[in-house]
Amino acid sequence: MQKTVLHAAHLRAGAKMVDFGGWHMPINYGSQLEEHHAVRQNCGMFDVSHMTVIDLEGPDATAFLLRLLANDVRKLKDAQALYSTMLNPKGGIIDDLIVYRITENSYRVVVNAATRDKDIAWFEQVIKDFDCDMQERSDMAMIAVQGPQAVEVCDALLPLQLKELKRFTAAQHNNLFVGRTGYTGEDGVEIIIPETQAEALWNDLVDAGVQPCGLGARDTLRLEAGMHLYGQDMNDDISPLECGLTWTVRKEDLDFIGADALEDQRATGISKKHIGLVLEDKGVLRHDQELQDDVGNAGIITSGGYSPTSEKAIAMAIVDHAMNDTIHVKIRNKLLSCRVVKMPFVRNGKSHID
C-alpha cells in the first residue's frame, strides 16, 4: 500500500487509517463531525498528496488540451484554473480534473489518485500527435486548506499574497504553487509543495490552529457542495450530459475526444439526468440505493449520506430523464419519500435546503 510523505504525521496525530485506492490514508483523527464543522466554520486541512500532478510544456500544449478535454482551455489567462472532464470516444468520463495555465505553452493538471494509471496511459496515447512534453510530479506533495479562515491563515504562513488571489486562480513562488481551489464548497487553497517541505508546512498549519481532517469529512463536505466523486457520480459509461456536467462541455470547435458521441446523444435525446434529493422520512441515503417515481421511471443514488450542516439525509442521483418529483427510495424493502432540491445543498457554511 502506498503512503504519502505525511503518513508518519497522521499516525502521530492518532489518525484512523484506511485503504483508499491503494493509498494508506486518514479517514478521521477522532471525530469526523468535528472535522466537518471545522471546515464549514473555521479552517481545516487535508493531505491530498495521493493525487496526481502532471506538468505539460511545449508549443502544442494548448492544442493537446483542446483535444484531450471537453472544456476550453483557451478561456484561461496565465495563473487561471479550469475544471473539466476528460472523455473517451463513447463520451464516457475517463476522469475529471483541474488544469492551471502557467504560461501560453505550459500547464499544470491535477487528476484523481484512483484513476492515475489509466489517466497517465490516456495522456501518453493522445500526446503522441502533439509537440508537447509531460512530466508527472511525484516529487510534490499537496495539502488542501479549506474554510472561511483558510486564506487568512495561509497568507500569514506562505510567501505569497493569497488574499489578492481570486477563486480559480493560482500563484507561484519558486517551487511553491498555490491554487485558490478546493473540494469542500468553502473558500480555501490547495498547496502543491516539494515533498521535502511538506511536513514542516503541515506542522506550521497545526500550530496555527488548523484542524487536520480525513477522507470522511472530505466526502460529507463535497456531497453538501454538490461536487462529483469519480467512480460514483460519473464513470467511463456516463457522459457529462447525463450527470449534471453539461456546463463543462464547450459549445464551439467540437474537436475534442468524445464530442461526436455527445452530439449523437443530443440528437437522439439524453435519457438520464442528475438531481439532488433530501429524504423526507427517517433513514439514511446511500450510494446504489434504487429510486422510482409513481409512473415507473427509475434511477439510482450515486452519492448519499448525512449532511452535518443541514442535519438531513441528502443524495445526488442519476435518474430517467422523464422522472417526476414524486420520488421514493427503496431502503430495506420499504419505499421512503424523497424531495427533489436544487444543489448545492450547502453554500458558504449555510444550508440551502428549505
Per residue in 337-351, pLDDT tens?
A: 999 999 999 998 999
Average pLDDT over residues 191-220: 98
Say what the pLDDT of residue 225 is: 98
The closest of 110, 68, 53, 87 to 235, measured between CA atoms, is 87
DSSP state of 166: P
**In 3D, which of 184, 189, 195, 181 has the Cα closest to residue 158?**
189
Judge contact between 171 and 119, C-beta under 8 A. Answer: no
Q: How many helices (H) and strands (E) does the chain have?
A: 8, 21
What are the grid coordinates assigned to 205, written together? 498549519
Given the C-alpha cell 483535444, which residue does it identify?
A: 67
**What is the rounded average pLDDT of the residues 196-214?**
98
Kindly report the backbone phi and psi dihedral angles of residue 276, in degrees, each rounded to the nearest multiple of 5, phi listed first.
-105, 145
Give residue 292's pLDDT: 97
How much is the pTM?
A: 0.96
User: What pLDDT is stored for residue 131 in this prediction?
Assistant: 98
129-174 pLDDT, tens digit per residue, is 999 999 999 999 999 999 999 999 999 999 999 999 999 999 999 9
Mean predicted confidence (pLDDT) in 23-44: 98
Mean pLDDT computed over every residue of the chain: 97
* DSSP annotation of 163: G
| pLDDT range class, residue 333, cuts 50, 70, 90 | confident
* pLDDT the model gives residue 348: 87
Tell me which fold the domain 271-351 belongs to. Elongation Factor Tu (Ef-tu); domain 3 (2.40.30)
Model pLDDT for residues 57-100, shown as the tens digit of each residue: 999 999 999 999 999 999 999 999 999 999 999 999 999 999 99
Instruction: Delimit the domains of the chain by residue range.
Output: 1-269, 271-351
Residue 348: which residues within 8 A CB-CB, separation 6 or more?
A: 148, 185, 186
Homologous superfamily of the 1-269 domain (CATH)? Probable tRNA modification gtpase trme; domain 1 (3.30.1360.120)
Q: Give the pLDDT score at 211.
A: 98
User: Quick check: bond before 344 cis, omega within 30?
Assistant: yes
37 pLDDT tier (thresholds 50, 70, 90): very high
- Residues 253-288 have pLDDT tens digits of 999 999 999 999 999 999 999 999 999 999 999 999
Does residue 21 register a pLDDT over 90? no
Q: Is the pLDDT of residue 354 over 90?
A: no
